[in-house]
Amino acid sequence: MEPGPLADLKFVQATLSGYTYLQSQEITMLKFIGILAVVAICAILILAAMKPSTFIVERSVSINATPDKIAPLINDFHSWNTWSPWAKLDPNMKTVYSGAPSGVGAIYEWEGNSKVGKGRMQVTSIQPAKTSIKLDFLKPFEGHNTADFVLEPQGSATRVTWVMYGPLNFIPGKLMSVFTTMDKMIGDDFQRGLADLKVAAEK
């Protein structure tokens, strides 16, 4: 016996009811996901706001050479290509030297691929045991920091400490620090650079 119009109507109603139920479930799930996303974003913003407003990265190495032999490799930007950890990341990086040939007033500007970005360095102070450099990153993120190279004689060797520090702005600095730190981002680069500096100075 073939189903009549009433049976067809009930079938359509049941189908529509099931579809409406699925739609309701999907909307409820989307709302739940949306609430979770808002809560997660708020949590990240709160955590970011609680992060320090400054950062510091520091690495050291012992070099079998005197400070007099090591200092020129730091104070003369023309020598940085022999040990800088970033000089090898982009063989086609554009560099410009200006200001003093070396020492206070020497300026080094670079622009390269996404790994090295764009920026500028200037030697601002040279003391017997420390060289200070003003470091301005322009791309991919803007940042204005200071780098110090501290040279401490230890017998026939010298302990060289490379320190970089500066402000940590909310965007991108504090937000990024929720997931990582400046130390994790560039600490290994510092260590590689100091290792190459050691090789260059001990020749």
Choose the weakest-confidence range: 4-8, 47-51, 73-77, 179-183.
Answer: 4-8
Percent of the chain at pLDDT exceeding 90: 52
Residue 170 φ/ψ, nearest 5 degrees: -60, -45
User: How high is the pLDDT of residue 151?
Assistant: 97
Helix, strand, coil proportions of the chain in percent (round to 5)? 45, 30, 25
The band of 174, judged by pLDDT with boundaries at 50, 70 and 90, is low
Of residues 133, 131, 100, 135, the one with CA closest to residue 118? 135
Which pLDDT belongs to residue 107?
98
Return phi, psi of residue 88, to 5°. -90, -5
What value does the mean pLDDT of the chain take? 85
pLDDT at residue 1, as a whole number: 44
What is the DSSP code (8-state) at residue 41? H
Q: Burial code of 128-141, b = ≥16 C-beta within 10 A, e = fewer?
A: eeebbbebebeeee
pLDDT digits (tens, 9 = 90+) for 123-141: 999 998 999 999 999 988 8
Determine the length of the chain.
203
Q: How far apart (Å, rounded) are the C-alpha atoms in residues 26 and 85?
A: 51
Q: Is the pLDDT of residue 111 over 80?
A: yes
Q: What is the pLDDT of residues 58-96, one digit of tens each?
A: 999 999 999 999 999 999 999 999 999 888 888 888 999
Question: Once rounded to an integer, what is the mean pLDDT over residues 43-49?
Answer: 73
Alpha helices by DSSP H, listed for 60-181, are: 67-75, 175-177
pLDDT at 115: 85
Residue 15: pLDDT above 80?
A: no
